[in-house]
Amino acid sequence: MIHLLLAAYNEGKALGNVLEKAEQSLSGQPHRVWVVDDGSSDNTANVAREWAKRIPLTLLRHPQNMGLGKALQTGLSQILPALAATDVLGIMDADNTQPPELLPVLVQRIQNNEADVVIASRFIAGGKSMGVPLFRRFTSAAARVLFRLFFHIPNVQDYTCGYRVYRGELLLRAKNKWGVLLTEDGFAATVELLVKLSAFSPRVAEVPLLLRYDRKPTPSKMPVFRTILKSLLLLRRLKKAK
């Protein structure tokens, strides 16, 4: 079984296209899509409801915007109790910047027992970003250097991209150790999950990602400097607790 978790905040313009391509990519394998509407003020929930009539989709909603980390934790709180060790969980953005067509490649690395975590990476051969502002590219590169310095994880080049797939067994082990997998409310949650999973020395693989910010219909919601600072404070805290 493949589970796909999408956190969406005011992504009504992009969500339908993401769901259509994800369904095409996962067709032929048992799967379920989980959409967490994080307090959107647009038609995000309505788009998800319409797609739930056609595909296996569960919609979860926050009454107000709580941040990416809280949205992911809401999704995980519903998925993990039903997750089998042999299942695969994919997480990706709902803003049309990450290609759902890459999902079969990521999932296959897990199903072929080649890896426990597979990351769609901008920083390996073949990876590329299009339409990303120069300042954002600079801060992403700087964050990569800092994270590798503070908390090196073998085979990881892209610490902050949230487009990943995980082996169910690994997530269940982490749940037993940590209780709550995500405590960060913002974008630092993507780093938090990776660092917590690293306690089990998982096999990590990366697949080249073409990040298409030129296809993003809404402005970025990431506060860059706040995210980097919170991530570094998180790494220091987790390093002590490891």
* Residue stretches of the chain with pLDDT short of 70: 132-145, 149, 218-242
Query: Which backbone phi and psi does 185 adopt, to 5 degrees?
Result: -90, -20
As given in the structure block, the two tokens for residue 204 are: 């990590």
Between the CA atoms of 229, 234, 236 and 241, what dihedral angle is there, to the nearest 10 degrees? 170
Query: How large a percentage of the chain has pLDDT more than 90?
Result: 65
Beta strand ranges found along the chain (DSSP E): 2-8, 31-38, 57-62, 88-93, 117-121, 128-130, 164-167, 204-208, 210-212
CB-based contact 8:36 (threshold 8 Å)? yes
> What are the boundaries of each domain within the chain?
2-241
Burial class (CB in 10 A: 0-12, 13-18, 19+), 36: buried
> Model's pTM, two decimal places?
0.88
The CATH class of 2-241 is alpha beta
**Residues pairing with 57 in the sheet:** 33
